[in-house]
Structure 1
Amino acid sequence: MKLGVFTVLLGDKSLEEALKYLSNSGVQAVELGTGGFPGTAHVNPDDLLDNPAKINELKDLINKYNMEISALSCHGNAVHPQKEVAAKFQKDFEKTVLLAEQMGLHRVNTFSGCPGDSEGSKYPNWVVCPWPDDFLTILDYQWNEVLIPYWEKAVKFANDHGVNQICLEMHPGFCVYNPETLLKLRDAVGDTIGANFDPSHLFWQGIDPVAAIRKLGPAIYHFHAKDTKIDPINAPINGVLDTKHYGDEINRSWIFRSVGYGHDYQVWKDIVSNLRMVGYDYVLSIEHEDSLMTPNEGLQKAIAFLKDVMTFEDKGAMWWA
């Protein structure tokens, strides 16, 4: 396995400054934002597409600091019911795929997206309940009329340009938010669709990440290292469907934390061990969204924690068996 970082938290630095900082911290890989919600602070496809000289400069810069790129990330909602919003996210996705092709990369991270409830909708509608019966009609529309047809085309576009792993973050608010919905879409459109496995979004839903890893197995294509703390006072009173601002930490039912501040060493050791058991021996990419720490402190604590729990060497032969 390799220790990586999603560099959006270092958007105030140049890419070279970020790479130097991360290299000195023992990081081995970077995940780069190329549009959508992550933005383009470090890599802007408009500057690089069809410009081999600039692409080579980027590759040389990555190599200079003994890094590799784990994935290009353009998390967005390309099935947003407002066509102009969807079109922008779609363009970001297409540019990211084209850039991945020209850089010789095969992984792109994004969201599944979430449509509205009908053709006339203005806003996405995340359905979390089977009743009233209208919700089942909404789900049928979202999946069969929008989501599956969209991803059938998106997968073909990606495959035509050398991208064979579209890594969807299972994120509440979007149609793919747990292993069941990830596998539902994968079954419908093919195994180009896989998971960008982020346990932080699973913890607060009551999902055991180890069980989810076992269920998904080879469908895990990328991994975000981020934690969640369930509040022991607020969650038992209000449950976990919480719409309060992330900055209202003391009143929320859960908040995102740096790894180790939501769950202990044993939980994360089990996650790492089970990743290896199902065949995932790739990058654990730290995503910092801890509102109780600065990006520097949260990242450094996450790096130190993961160095203790990750397994970096090949398994080797069982000399005792």
Structure 2
Amino acid sequence: MKLGMLTACLPQQSLAEIAAWASAAGYEALEVAAWPRTGGRDFEASHLPVTGFGIREADETRALMKRHGLGISALAYYENNLHPDPGRRAEIHTHLKKVIDAAAALDVPYVGTFVGRDWTRPVAPNLDEAEKIFPRLVEYAGERGVRIIIENCVMEGWHPDGYPGNLAYSPELWEWMFGLDLYLNWDPSHLTWIGIDPVTTIAPYADRIVHAQAKDLQIQPGAVDRYGVFGKAVQREDPWDTGWWRYRVPGRGDVDWNAVVDALYENGFTGTLSVEHEDPLWSGTEAKVKTGLEIAHRTLRPLIVA
């Protein structure tokens, strides 16, 4: 198992700057953000120019990683592959294929994305639509030696009422998507707030957990008794603010990282545990974000065999 980090938390820095810092901080791998240069969400980051990515760019990227003793665990493009607008959906699929091409050029085995959801339709029609869309994407990736991994994020902010916007949030849905030959970028934080014990989900799906993200979550005592599990309904100016929990860096929330890492080892996980930093307490400036990443490293490094 290697300890890595997702680069998306440092959108203003270049990949070269992040690689130098991450190596000095003791990280072993990068999960590289590969959104387009422009996008709709404020946390989108573009650390790899996948449009027009060729032999020269691949060689330069490999040399950069080698210089800092780092690997690339996956490329990250977490978008809504079932977007209700046909034009936007086509744009997403086009860019996803470019990310897959870049991964193939770099011999990176995984590209991370979301299943997503058409939030104007019920779950069943969405699953039917996904069963038409994803086999083509999986085939495109497979022909290039790449696997598509899906993060189990709920993406409640994508739904107008705060309901799941990414149909990959539970083991029930994992079993469905595994039938499409998709793999899992397993993240315990999302399981925690929807009432699923993360540790219990590792053993049954160990053969499909090929990459994992390390993000913590802190439940604010008593707040759920006011809002319920779906979060704020009347005054929800920020679609991502449920009002009763918040993301934290590992070691500052409710996830039992000793149990998580132990279960990953017990079930043969040999991939990368990649820190995904979305902690609001350690955000706002580059210095605070890096401090958050240092906290995560201090928490997880002692648990992972060198």
Compute the TM-score of the two structures, normalised by the length of structure 2: 0.87
Cα displacement string for residues 271-316 of structure 1 (whole angstroms, at most 9, x for unaligned residues): 00111112112211001101112312211111111112x2224xxx
4+ long deviations beyond 3 Å? 36-40, 243-249
Distance 1:215 1:237, change over 3 A: farther
SS at match of 2:168: coil
1:140 shift after superposition = 2.5
1:239 shift after superposition = 2.2
Q: Are residues 1:100 and 2:103 paired?
A: yes
The residue aligned with 1:316 is none
Q: Are residues 1:139 and 2:132 paired?
A: no
C-alpha separation between the residues in 1 aligned to 2:152 and 2:240?
24
Cα displacement string for residues 130-165 of structure 1 (whole angstroms, at most 9, x for unaligned residues): xxxxxxxx3331112x111111111111111211x2
The residue aligned with 1:152 is 135
Cα displacement string for residues 10-62 of structure 1 (whole angstroms, at most 9, x for unaligned residues): 222222111111111000000001126664531110142xx212210111001
1:237 shift after superposition = 3.0
Select the structure of larger CA radius of gyration. 1
The residue aligned with 1:297 is 291
Quick one: which amino acid aligns to residue 150 of structure 2? L
Distance 1:42 1:248, change over 3 A: closer
Cα displacement string for residues 253-274 of structure 1 (whole angstroms, at most 9, x for unaligned residues): 100011111126xx11110011
Q: Are residues 1:42 and 2:42 paired?
A: no
The residue aligned with 1:20 is 20
1:213 shift after superposition = 1.0
Distance 1:219 1:292, change over 3 A: same
1:8 shift after superposition = 1.2
Q: Are residues 1:9 and 2:6 paired?
A: no
The residue aligned with 1:319 is none
Q: Is the Cα–Cα contact under 8 Å of residues 3 and 27 in structure 1 kept in the other structure?
A: yes
The residue aligned with 2:160 is none
List alignment gaps of at least 5 residues for structure 2.
Answer: 155-164, 283-287
SS at match of 2:101: helix
Q: Is the Cα–Cα contact under 8 Å of residues 82 and 126 in structure 2 kept in the other structure?
A: no
Map 1:23-102; keep pairs closer than 5 Å. Answer: 23-35=23-35, 39-48=44-53, 51-102=54-105
Q: Is the Cα–Cα contact under 8 Å of residues 219 and 254 in structure 2 kept in the other structure?
A: no
Quick one: which amino acid aligns to residue 212 of structure 2? F
C-alpha separation between the residues in 2 aligned to 1:68 and 1:246?
36
C-alpha separation between the residues in 2 aligned to 1:230 and 1:261?
11
C-alpha separation between the residues in 2 aligned to 1:46 and 1:40?
14
Map 1:167-182; keep pairs closer than 5 Å. Answer: 167-172=149-154, 173-182=165-174
Q: Is the Cα–Cα contact under 8 Å of residues 246 and 255 in structure 1 kept in the other structure?
A: no
Quick one: which amino acid aligns to residue 15 of structure 1? L
Q: Is the Cα–Cα contact under 8 Å of residues 240 and 254 in structure 1 kept in the other structure?
A: no
1:248 shift after superposition = 9.2
C-alpha separation between the residues in 1 aligned to 2:228 and 2:270?
35
SS at match of 1:76: strand
Q: Are residues 1:209 and 2:233 paired?
A: no
SS at match of 1:45: coil
Q: Are residues 1:253 and 2:256 paired?
A: no
C-alpha separation between the residues in 2 aligned to 1:200 and 1:4?
17
Quick one: which amino acid aligns to residue 7 of structure 1? T
SS at match of 2:115: coil
Compute the TM-score of the two structures, normalised by the length of structure 1: 0.83
Distance 1:93 1:300, change over 3 A: same
1:176 shift after superposition = 1.2
Give the alignment's Cα RMSD to 1 decimal: 1.9
List alignment gaps of at least 5 residues for structure 1.
Answer: 118-124, 126-137, 314-321
Q: Is the Cα–Cα contact under 8 Å of residues 216 and 253 in structure 2 kept in the other structure?
A: yes
